[in-house]
Chain A
Amino acid sequence: MSAASQLNSDRSPPGCLDSLLSVRNVRKYFPIREGALQRIVGHVRAVDGVSFDIRRGETVGLVGESGCGKTTLARCVSGLTDITGGGIYFDLPHKQAILLGQLSSPNAEGGPLPGHKQELERIDTAHRIDRLEGEAGRRFRRNCQMVFQDSFASLNPRHLVFDLVSRPLRVYREATGSELTERVVELLEQVGLGRQHLYRYPHQFSGGQRQRISIARALALNPEIIVLDEPTSALDVSVQAQILNLLNELQSQRNLAFLFVTHDLSVIHHMADRVVVMYLGKVSETGDTGELFKAPHHPYTRALMEAKPDLEDESSKYEFKGLEGTVPDPARPPRGCRFHTRCEFATESCGWEIDDIVRCLEYDPAAFETLSGVERRSDFDAVLTFDDAKSANRLAEMLRSGAVPKALQDSLSKLELRDRHVSVAFEEVDEVPLTSRGPGRAAACVLDPSVIASGRNG
């Protein structure tokens, strides 16, 4: 332990430019298979182009609803899941990170130049976690540990605590015999357990204690980063407070970096230095915790804050309310801004498309039943066919009147009614990119932050 703490003091202080883990445009698609031959008919885009950095000794919070891809991303980062595209780089020096950014940005020819290709290859084999081999691979794996949400499922019920916590030490041949036992006791004491717990099974512990065992196991190899996937979601508030205090204490002792995945904003606010807000596989906003909570730049962040107001803050500027609708299908994510289907601030340039009309129809059962076909020319241009002219007329009326969101109406570029057919077209909109909003701050929204802060759509 003393040797380890010496090592820690040598580590660079937080705030330096070198990042411990660089996530670059990571994509993870899960195939959808159908039929007897299990042909791939589509992909669920669980993570769709996410980039961020984790520096030494800092906590990055990852928030979002269930199904937004945050757990998948956490598993990708810790190397448990292969990624479809992009790259995750471990211990990438700042210079090479800049180089990587230049090299992988698309140039005129569409691909990297031959010289660049070699350079990229060199960075990849040295730092990309799925390309690391031999000693470098072992170094990454022992420095990146994970704590899972469900401590029931992540601790083998047939192993003793001693077996569970000593496993990493034995795998890396760190210690044997009585030294091993002493190391395990030391780890258990660090997380608030003791020698008396060595020879017990996981089921003999409470939820909070089991989570402590998971943390002890993650600490065993003295890692530099721990990925925490909802470590306190299953716990009571008083136990949650104990675990959060423990994590903070360990972080300051060992200069650990955390990737803290959770859906609980109050926990993120308390724990994280920087926050990444995800929605449907994409980052919708990222920034310093304090600034992000002070003034959200994305309507989704605001909606999350409204859904879970702070307990202490009575004069909260947000009223308690939820979000309309459900998360859209990640196999067919909405065009433009992915949040526009549920956004109360949506404007005509947020990417309205044919699917939105179909969604509106679902709220009108009579009309939806009579819809017999949708002939698409693109996501923005289609002809909707109904069983009778009356229903077609009704849809046209709906689109002209206030029955649909105003922004949808404004973005309609064509609306023609011919007998049973309604042909509609929207202005084509590209995906809303993540734009920089000052140092370390970025948001993917077309609106001005002041509009979101005021809570009204101009």
Chain B
Amino acid sequence: MQPVDQEKAVQARPRPASVASVRNLRVYFQSKRGMVHAVDGVSFDIYDGETLGLVGETGCGKSVTGRSFLKLLPVPPGKIASGSIQFKPHATCRNCDGNGCPSCEGTGRQSAANSRGRSNEKGIRDSVDAEIVELLEIGREEMRRIRGDRIAMIFQDPGKALNPTLPISEQLSEVFLLHRTSELLEAAGLPASTGGALRRFASQEQRFGDSLLMALPPNRAFRNRLVGALNKMVIEALGDTQVPNPAKLMARYPHELSGGMKQRVMIAQALACNPDILIADEPTTALDVTVEARILELIKELQKKRRTSVLYISHDLSLVRRICDRVAVMYAGKVVEIGSTDAIFRDPRHPYTRGLISAVPSAGARRGELAAIRGTVPELVDPAPTCRFAGRCPFEADSCRRFEPELKPVSNGHAVACFIDSAAPSGRQPTFQSAAV
């Protein structure tokens, strides 16, 4: 664990407390033709309890960004070239010790910014004593502890993300066994100091011969109590996702369930440990529109109840508009525009955002006159330092082809990486009037 530049950390934190700040993240992939700059200098914050939408076309690096939070990238060929992801886990609420009280709205947790005096050897304190974890630098074991517990992920295709050889109950209990061992022991009425085979059973670290030990009395009775407690926790988690008859669902295998039901199981799995951040990577792309709306309602509801922040990765603008508080638009490995949903959709400042919004078929558009963005996404092999959208942009000027625009704020919380709103270093500046057709 390296010390983090404290000054920078303070500076980087905006008014609302952020649970995670991504700074200058660069993820490259080695390919035959050279380094593919899949994510190239991405910075954003996820605020406490908000839904941040990450939109963009296929191959713009949005999924890679989401996966780098949890070290889920294939390394090699992937490589995290630089940057940092600082994660500030919620601390246990001081008033109620995690049992739920009015001050923490029953969640038992407080956001990092207003918690005090809790730290351990793993974390470092920033100016308000919150613990900061540098996600890109911690080891495998620590990541295992965070993954699924403090940061959880929902994947695009529930059919592929669930293990086809295990029944639903086992896939869900894994989360509890890994992250909630002491709660499990408590729920089974065993002392927290329980050790030996029983503890190993409750934390899924079985050794050779443990199954034999567990089959002998009195361990057998304890084991049954543990399994009972575990099943209760699983049923509760499933029940939260409004699954009809959760007890019956537990014995089923993934292939027996419909797509919407599988996605619910995955949501139950992700939210089982009450995570601080939920990364939803196109969670409804594989589902029907009517089911999609139900799943989103469900995520929204659970999020409100648990004050989880959601990073919602999607290519569907109309969905993002309905459910997100803020939106970051990505193009070719960069965030080109970020701001509140309202600002982005009411007054998009980047030509790409404008292009994306007008490409969605709507009632107003005349037949055959959809505003398609011309050209295709550029290859990201060793890109030149120019505006990545140059060549497809209807407003581009010569400065766009020579300099790379940076993300600059245009109004409160709304930032754009385009010379349209900030002066170009030299050369002619693009404007929305100078549309080159």
Interface residues of A (CB under 8 A from B): 65-66, 206-208, 236-242, 244-245, 248-249, 252, 263-267, 269-271, 293, 303-304, 306-313, 320-324, 326, 362-363, 365, 368
Q: Is there contact, CB below 8 Å, between A269 and B368? A: no
- Cβ of B11 < 8 Å from any Cβ of A? no
Closest residue of chain B to A252, judged by CB? Answer: B368
Q: Tell me the residues in window 359-385 of chain B with beta carbons closer than 8 Å to chain A beta carbons.
A: 359-365, 367-373, 376
**Distance in Å: Cβ of A50 to nearest Cβ of chain B:** 20
Binding site secondary structure of chain A: helix
- Cβ of B139 < 8 Å from any Cβ of A? no
Q: Is there contact, CB below 8 Å, between B361 and A244? A: yes
- CB-CB under 8 A from A265, the residues of chain B are 289
Rounded to whole angstroms, the CA-CA distance of A311 and B370 in the bound complex is 14
- Cβ of B332 < 8 Å from any Cβ of A? no
Closest residue of chain A to B370, judged by CB? Answer: A241
Q: Is there contact, CB below 8 Å, between B289 and A267? A: no
- CB-CB under 8 A from A320, the residues of chain B are 293, 296, 322
**Distance in Å: Cβ of B323 to nearest Cβ of chain A:** 8
Q: Tell me the residues in window 49-93 of chain B with beta carbons closer than 8 Å to chain A beta carbons.
A: 57-58
- Cβ of B292 < 8 Å from any Cβ of A? yes
Minimum-distance CB pairs A-B, first 8: A322-B293, A248-B368, A322-B294, A270-B361, A241-B372, A323-B290, A241-B359, A241-B370
Q: Is there contact, CB below 8 Å, between A65 and B288? A: yes
CB<8 Å pairs between A and B, sample of 12: A65-B288, A236-B57, A237-B360, A238-B359, A252-B368, A266-B318, A271-B367, A304-B290, A308-B293, A309-B322, A310-B362, A313-B363
- CB-CB under 8 A from A207, the residues of chain B are 58
- Cβ of B32 < 8 Å from any Cβ of A? no
Residue with the highest number of chain B CB atoms closer than 10 Å, among A206, A266, A320, A368: A320
- CB-CB under 8 A from A242, the residues of chain B are 372-373
- CB-CB under 8 A from B167, the residues of chain A are none
- CB-CB under 8 A from B245, the residues of chain A are 362-363, 365, 368
- CB-CB under 8 A from A266, the residues of chain B are 318, 360-362
Rounded to whole angstroms, the CA-CA distance of A308 and B318 in the bound complex is 8
Rounded to whole angstroms, the CA-CA distance of A308 and B225 in the bound complex is 47
**Distance in Å: Cβ of A157 to nearest Cβ of chain B:** 20
- Cβ of B409 < 8 Å from any Cβ of A? no
Rounded to whole angstroms, the CA-CA distance of A65 and B362 in the bound complex is 20
Q: Is there contact, CB below 8 Å, between A312 and B363? A: yes
- CB-CB under 8 A from A368, the residues of chain B are 245, 248
Rounded to whole angstroms, the CA-CA distance of A189 and B262 in the bound complex is 44
Contact of A237 among B289, B290, B292, B356 (CB under 8 A): B356
Contact with A along B341-369 (1 / 0, CB 8 A): 00000000000000111011111110111
Q: A249-B368, A310-B362, A322-B297 are in contact. Are A238 and B318 (CB under 8 A)?
A: no
- CB-CB under 8 A from B321, the residues of chain A are 311
- CB-CB under 8 A from B260, the residues of chain A are 326
- CB-CB under 8 A from B296, the residues of chain A are 320, 322
Contact of B315 among A208, A236, A264 (CB under 8 A): A236
Rounded to whole angstroms, the CA-CA distance of A309 and B289 in the bound complex is 10
Rounded to whole angstroms, the CA-CA distance of A308 and B321 in the bound complex is 11
**Distance in Å: Cβ of B45 to nearest Cβ of chain A:** 26
Q: Is there contact, CB below 8 Å, between B289 and A308? A: yes
- Cβ of B218 < 8 Å from any Cβ of A? no
Q: Is there contact, CB below 8 Å, between A365 and B359? A: no
Contact of A267 among B290, B361, B368 (CB under 8 A): B361
- CB-CB under 8 A from A326, the residues of chain B are 258, 260-261, 291
Please classify how large the interface on chain B is, using the bins under 10, 10 to 19, 20 to 34, 35 or more.
35 or more
- Cβ of B4 < 8 Å from any Cβ of A? no
Rounded to whole angstroms, the CA-CA distance of A237 and B370 in the bound complex is 10
- CB-CB under 8 A from A264, the residues of chain B are 289
Closest residue of chain B to A326, judged by CB? Answer: B258
In the complex, besides A241-B360, A244-B368, A245-B370, 7 extra interface pairs with C-beta distance below 8 angstroms are A242-B373, A248-B367, A266-B361, A267-B361, A270-B362, A322-B296, A323-B290
- Cβ of B244 < 8 Å from any Cβ of A? yes
**Distance in Å: Cβ of A209 to nearest Cβ of chain B:** 8
- Cβ of B247 < 8 Å from any Cβ of A? yes
Residue with the highest number of chain A CB atoms closer than 10 Å, among B245, B290, B376: B290
Interface residues of B (CB under 8 A from A): 57-58, 244-248, 258, 260-261, 288-297, 315-318, 321-322, 355-357, 359-365, 367-373, 376
Closest residue of chain B to A64, judged by CB? Answer: B288
**Distance in Å: Cβ of B59 to nearest Cβ of chain A:** 9
Q: Is there contact, CB below 8 Å, between B57 and A311? A: no
Residue with the highest number of chain A CB atoms closer than 10 Å, among B261, B296, B362: B362
- CB-CB under 8 A from B317, the residues of chain A are 237, 311
- CB-CB under 8 A from A245, the residues of chain B are 368-370, 372
- CB-CB under 8 A from B261, the residues of chain A are 326
**Distance in Å: Cβ of B298 to nearest Cβ of chain A:** 9
Rounded to whole angstroms, the CA-CA distance of A173 and B360 in the bound complex is 41
Q: Is there contact, CB below 8 Å, between A321 and B297? A: yes
- CB-CB under 8 A from B369, the residues of chain A are 245
Q: A238-B57, A241-B361 are in contact. Are A66 and B367 (CB under 8 A)?
A: no
Closest residue of chain B to A305, judged by CB? Answer: B289
Q: Is there contact, CB below 8 Å, between A312 and B362? A: yes
Q: A237-B315, A365-B245 are in contact. Are A307 and B57 (CB under 8 A)?
A: no
Rounded to whole angstroms, the CA-CA distance of A167 and B372 in the bound complex is 31
- CB-CB under 8 A from B293, the residues of chain A are 306-308, 320-323
Q: A245-B372, A270-B370, A309-B318 are in contact. Are A322 and B292 (CB under 8 A)?
A: yes
- CB-CB under 8 A from B57, the residues of chain A are 236-239
Q: A245-B369, A311-B360, A362-B245 are in contact. Are A263 and B315 (CB under 8 A)?
A: no
- CB-CB under 8 A from A321, the residues of chain B are 293-294, 297
**Distance in Å: Cβ of B134 to nearest Cβ of chain A:** 34
- CB-CB under 8 A from B290, the residues of chain A are 65, 303-304, 307, 322-323
Residue with the highest number of chain A CB atoms closer than 10 Å, among B248, B291, B321, B364: B291
**Distance in Å: Cβ of B340 to nearest Cβ of chain A:** 15
- CB-CB under 8 A from B362, the residues of chain A are 266, 269-270, 310-313
- CB-CB under 8 A from B58, the residues of chain A are 207, 236
Q: Is there contact, CB below 8 Å, between B295 and A322? A: yes
Residue with the highest number of chain B CB atoms closer than 10 Å, among A265, A303, A310, A324: A310
**Distance in Å: Cβ of B249 to nearest Cβ of chain A:** 10
Q: A245-B368, A270-B361 are in contact. Are A65 and B315 (CB under 8 A)?
A: no
Rounded to whole angstroms, the CA-CA distance of A368 and B247 in the bound complex is 12
- CB-CB under 8 A from B247, the residues of chain A are 365
- CB-CB under 8 A from B364, the residues of chain A are 312
Q: Is there contact, CB below 8 Å, between A244 and B370? A: yes
- CB-CB under 8 A from B376, the residues of chain A are 206, 208, 239
Q: Is there contact, CB below 8 Å, between B295 and A310? A: no
- CB-CB under 8 A from B356, the residues of chain A are 237-238
Rounded to whole angstroms, the CA-CA distance of A208 and B376 in the bound complex is 9
- CB-CB under 8 A from B365, the residues of chain A are 270
Closest residue of chain A to B245, judged by CB? Answer: A365
Rounded to whole angstroms, the CA-CA distance of A245 and B292 in the bound complex is 27
- CB-CB under 8 A from A206, the residues of chain B are 376
- CB-CB under 8 A from B315, the residues of chain A are 236-237
Rounded to whole angstroms, the CA-CA distance of A270 and B291 in the bound complex is 23
